[in-house]
Amino acid sequence: MGVSGCGKSSVAQQLAAATGWTLYEGDTYHAPESVRKMQAGIALTDDDRSHWLQHLAQILALATPAAGVVLTCSALKRKYRDCLRAALPEQGVGFVFLDLDFATALQRVQQRPGHFFSPDLVANQFATLERPDAEAGVVGVDATLPLADIVRRVNAWRVAPAA
């Protein structure tokens, strides 16, 4: 989870490969109207996101305890994360917060060829972000670290006993 440009897709691909878990790229489940809005530089509202989040929650709910899932999702607000948590109340849902500053996020988004997310929306993502620093089941990782280091930290957190 994190703002656009934090590296969710890259980290998720590596994490799924390292764990053998199924990867679901959250962006592919956005409604066409939402994609058009983002392309035009129009921020999504909670209403725009609600069906998308419910769909992602259904994906999580269908996961069996033996088969892990890696799901990319900005999950910028606590209520978005809580929607995803509600999908697996017994097993729990862990979040990797890829923490990134505004300037780096903007630079990364501007340099992504062919992605639908407009760089004009990066500021809105930071304004919307409710940092998960005090939430249980969340590990924060500096998104400017090398990809291998991020995946190593996430895997170490994932297998560490619960406190």
CA dist 21 and 14 (Å) reads 10
Give a yes or no: residue 61 inside a domain. Answer: yes
Give a yes or no: residue 25 inside a domain. Answer: yes
Give a yes or no: residue 3 inside a domain. Answer: no
Closest listed residue to residue 127, CA positions, set 1, 3, 33, 35: 3
**Residue-number span of the structural domain to which 123 is assigned:** 8-158
Q: Which residue has the higher pLDDT, 39 or 82?
A: 82
Average pLDDT over every residue of 86-109: 92
Provide the number of structural domains found in the chain.
1
CATH number of the domain that residue 121 is part of: 3.40.50.300
Give a yes or no: residue 125 inside a domain. Answer: yes
What b-and-e string marks burial along 98-111, b requiring 16 or more CB atoms within 10 Å of the CB? bbbeeeebbebbee
Give a yes or no: residue 2 inside a domain. Answer: no
Q: Which residue has the higher pLDDT, 116 or 22?
A: 22
Give a yes or no: residue 1 inside a domain. Answer: no
Query: CA torsion, points 107, 108, 114, 117, in degrees to nearest 10?
Result: -80
Q: Please report the DSSP string for 63-75 in residue order.
A: --TTS-EEEE---
Check pLDDT > 90 for residue 91: no
DSSP label at 136? T
Digit-coded pLDDT (tens) for 114-132 = 667 777 788 999 999 999 9
